[in-house]
Amino acid sequence: MGSVQIVTTILAAAITAVAVWLVVRAVMKMVAVIRLGQPDPSRFGDQVSRTKTMLAETAGHTRMLRWSVVGAAHWFVMVGFIVLSLLVLEAYFEVVSPTGGLPLIGGWGLYGLVTEWIGILGIVGIVVLIAIRLANRPNRAGRRSRFTGSTMWQGYFVEAVVLAVLIMGFLIRGFKVATDHFEYPTWAAPLSHAVGSALPDWESAVSVAALIKIAISMTWLIVISLNVTMGVAWHRFLAFPNIFFKRKPGAAGSGLGPLRPMMSDGKPLDFEEADPEKDQFGVAHVEQFTWKGLLDFSTCTECGRCQSQCPAWNTGKPLSPKLLVLSLRDHAYAKAPYLLAGGGKDLTGEEKATAAQLAHVDVLALAEAEKPLIGDAEAGGVIDPDVLWSCTTCGACVEQCPVDIEHVDHIVDMRRYQVLIESSFPSEAGVMLRNLENKGNPWGAPQNTREDWTKGLDFEVPRVGEVEDFEYLFWVGCAGAFEDRAKKTTRAVATLLNEAGVSFAILGEGETCSGDPARRIGNEFVFQMLAQQNVETLNEAFEGREKAKRKIVATCPHCFNTLGNEYGQLGGEFEVVHHTQLLAHLVATGKLTPVQPVDGGVTYHDPCYLGRHNRVFAPPREVLGSAINGGTGGADSGLVEMPRNSERSFCCGAGGARMWMEERIGKRINVDRVEEAMSTGAKTVAVGCPFCSTMLNDGVNGKGAGEQVEVVDVASVLLRSVKPEPARGAEEGEPVAR
């Protein structure tokens, strides 16, 4: 070992020791903070499925590759980071000796070939990612940039380090080539040989270059260890457990569909026995999120994909799912010294720690602990109320997140505390909640008018209890029973089911609201009251039937989602289909035959709770494809898709109980969506949700385009094609001749 190698070895050992010590300290801090969260036993089941999903999403990059260029570039960088860590390890042998290398595999030609090409493609990948970040700088693109609000220096730093480490790897190999100490032939390492041909024959340069490579790598570790909230770096470690512990491993749309039940100490809250002084009602403090929630916040990469798809952010609202998560993350880590010292408020608001426990806590942590979780700028809140109430729970953020952060669950948990304990929510929503409690529907319509939609039909709509048997229970829903536009859809569906010979029955006045608006606004108490009533009614209606024969068809995706995904939490197990699924089946089996083509072009708007939340994308398109061409077309035949469709469909603005709240900030979400629909040139905008129908109709009328564009349900489009003459009458409730 020469003098250069002695110096490089000592320096490499010293900086590595510092980096390792700081990393261990940082990891211990992060683990301690995450463990402050509430228990969540549901995250540990089905470990085989969890492992498969985690490997598919990380090694296979299944979520990232939906964004082809970025996904491919990121995959090469990720693989480069993992595989080329071996080259960093090899550098420790090279600082000791210019001819050093990894034992066993160091001289293996295949290893040289693989690492060579991973290094080359890694450089290409990181250059692409740097170019994308530079092209989308927030100071140039503003809200259009998904990086708006991200900590940009951290992104630049991480990408520069990756590029530098990859370049140093080729320089080390090049100097080995120049000094004739390289183990691999030209065919295995062409770039390394090309670099070596341009470098001088300086043997000690290998050790010096190896030291620089180690120094760059350890500097990266030191910087991220001193910045535990540096998600753009830490996500490469935290993404694995965060994906592993996702809510529904192996299922598309994990974190979507059903909401998590309201939890206290790791168990679903029983309102009959709950005590606000002993049980947690929603989330009032950051430590009341589950440990998975705190892991979510720590894992955020600041990539902004959630933000770029958020309907609130895209229409000038203050909500950015990314910035909400970052605010919660920064607050959690700033408050952590106080919490780890034993601080915190009990459920009555009393301080749990003694003065002695808090005596040595940093004053900044104590100040952070005094911030309300929800509060405006004057109150110094972590999350502004306008941010919290701008969410439509459309799930676009969850759908796009590459590391499976569950934004919607966290937002609703904060809403639950605000509604149930603070009684703090948009005032206009109070009318809706009172109507749900007193009338069983959000409009406050009399219960004895629930069956008025049946008037004018030329066939009898059977009621449960009046018929001995039926195949489907037709869940009409509040909108379908009381809202004028939705009643047209209800009549159209009933007419089509009757035409196809499907045996169905309705509950009539026995039906009440599914509870979706109450649950999404955060009033779990009202939701459970309504849901338990419905579960009891439905169980009675299906008494004696196995689950496979307890079939429900619903026209409202919100009812479809609630009955099918959430009633199981309360003892209601049913097979629930959306009406477009049933109609697609009836068309495919020849029980309904479209004959009249639809003129003027048709575009389809995916309802969030049908598409993104429940993955029902094809059936409505199959129905429309058949109707558009009078039965001769297949799925998508003649359908004009909007730019944002399917998984990336843009919300209508009504979800999350926003249907009953005023939209006072920014551009109206429904207007944005209507403009996109109108840009297709289609004369018919087909929908599969009564909320979407209302919002898009209002948007069309607001644009003064009511004479040019019609918004109608998929069922109405099909009915006009199946029964051209009587279809209009069936929709409007006029007598229909057979």
Identity of residue 440: G
In this prediction, residues 636-642 reach a mean pLDDT of 81
pLDDT digits (tens, 9 = 90+) for 426-437: 999 999 999 999
Is pLDDT of 99 > 90? no
Is pLDDT of 240 > 70? yes
Distances (CA, A) of 8 to 67, 173, 208, 250, 560: 43, 17, 7, 48, 66
Spatial distance between the Cα atoms of 412 and 360, rounded to a whole number of angstroms? 35
Phi, psi (rounded to 5 degrees) for 104: 70, -65
What percent of the chain is modeled with pLDDT above 90?
78
Is the four-CA dihedral 14, 16, 17, 21 of positive or negative sign? positive
Phi, psi (rounded to 5 degrees) for 719: -60, -40
Highest mean pLDDT among 43-57, 202-216, 384-398, 723-737: 384-398
Tokens of 327: 């605010």
Spatial distance between the Cα atoms of 305 and 676, rounded to a whole number of angstroms? 20
> Closest by alpha carbon to 491, among 516, 474, 503, 507?
474
Is pLDDT of 577 > 70? yes
Spatial distance between the Cα atoms of 621 and 616, rounded to a whole number of angstroms? 10
Tokens of 553: 């068809």
Structure letter (DSSP) for residue 360: T
Q: So what's the pLDDT on residue 736?
A: 37
Q: So what's the pLDDT on residue 733?
A: 55
In this prediction, residues 511-523 reach a mean pLDDT of 96
Report which secondary-structure segment, H or E, holds 327: helix 321-340
Highest mean pLDDT among 347-356, 558-567, 589-598, 623-632: 558-567
Q: So what's the pLDDT on residue 86?
A: 81
Spatial distance between the Cα atoms of 452 and 461, rounded to a whole number of angstroms? 11
Confidence of residue 632 (pLDDT cuts 50, 70, 90): low
In this prediction, residues 178-190 reach a mean pLDDT of 90
> Across the chain, what does the average pLDDT equal?
92
Q: So what's the pLDDT on residue 83?
A: 79
Computed on alpha carbons and rounded to an integer, the radius of gyration of the chain in Å comes to 30
Tokens of 712: 């109608």
In this prediction, residues 274-287 reach a mean pLDDT of 92
Identity of residue 528: Q
> Closest by alpha carbon to 460, among 506, 511, 523, 415?
506
Confidence of residue 738 (pLDDT cuts 50, 70, 90): very low
Spatial distance between the Cα atoms of 569 and 531, rounded to a whole number of angstroms? 10
Identify whether the C-beta of residue 543 lies closer than 8 Å to the C-beta of residue 497.
Answer: no
- DSSP letters along 12-66, please? HHHHHHHHHHHHHHHHHHHHHHHTTSBP-GGGGS-HHHHHHHHHHHHTS-TTGGG
78 alpha-carbon distance from chain centroid: 22
- Enumerate residues 6+ apart whose C-beta is below 8 A from 69: 128, 132
In sequence order, the β-bridge partners of residue 268 are: 263
pLDDT digits (tens, 9 = 90+) for 593-624: 999 888 889 999 999 999 999 999 999 999 99
pLDDT digits (tens, 9 = 90+) for 297-307: 999 999 999 99
pLDDT digits (tens, 9 = 90+) for 35-93: 999 999 999 988 999 999 999 999 888 888 887 889 899 998 988 888 778 888 888 98
Identity of residue 226: L
Phi, psi (rounded to 5 degrees) for 107: -105, 10
> Closest by alpha carbon to 7, among 98, 89, 96, 100?
96
Distances (CA, A) of 471 to 75, 465, 532: 49, 14, 23
In 3-state terms, what secondary structure has residue 696?
helix
In 3-state terms, what secondary structure has residue 400?
helix
Spatial distance between the Cα atoms of 329 and 230, rounded to a whole number of angstroms? 10
pLDDT digits (tens, 9 = 90+) for 403-424: 999 999 999 999 999 999 999 9
> Closest by alpha carbon to 129, among 64, 190, 191, 82?
64
Other residues' Cβ atoms within 10 Å of the Cβ of residue 194? 13
* Lateral strand order in the sheet of 551-554: 504-505, 472-475, 551-554, 575-578
Confidence of residue 737 (pLDDT cuts 50, 70, 90): very low
Q: Estimate the crossing angle of helix 152-178 against helix 205-225, to 10 degrees.
A: 160
Confidence of residue 29 (pLDDT cuts 50, 70, 90): very high
Tokens of 469: 């048997």
Spatial distance between the Cα atoms of 607 and 581, rounded to a whole number of angstroms? 14
Q: So what's the pLDDT on residue 735?
A: 41
Q: So what's the pLDDT on residue 9?
A: 93
pLDDT digits (tens, 9 = 90+) for 483-507: 999 999 999 999 999 999 999 999 9
- Enumerate residues 6+ apart whose C-beta is below 8 A from 201: 178, 179, 180
Identify whether the C-beta of residue 366 lies closer than 8 Å to the C-beta of residue 628.
Answer: no
In 3-state terms, what secondary structure has residue 277?
coil
What percent of the chain is modeled with pLDDT above 70?
97
- Enumerate residues 6+ apart whose C-beta is below 8 A from 272: none
Q: So what's the pLDDT on residue 732?
A: 56
Confidence of residue 712 (pLDDT cuts 50, 70, 90): very high
Identify whether the C-beta of residue 308 lies closer than 8 Å to the C-beta of residue 146.
Answer: yes
Identity of residue 488: K
Report which secondary-structure segment, H or E, holds 84: none
Distances (CA, A) of 148 to 143, 306, 308, 320, 675: 6, 12, 10, 10, 25
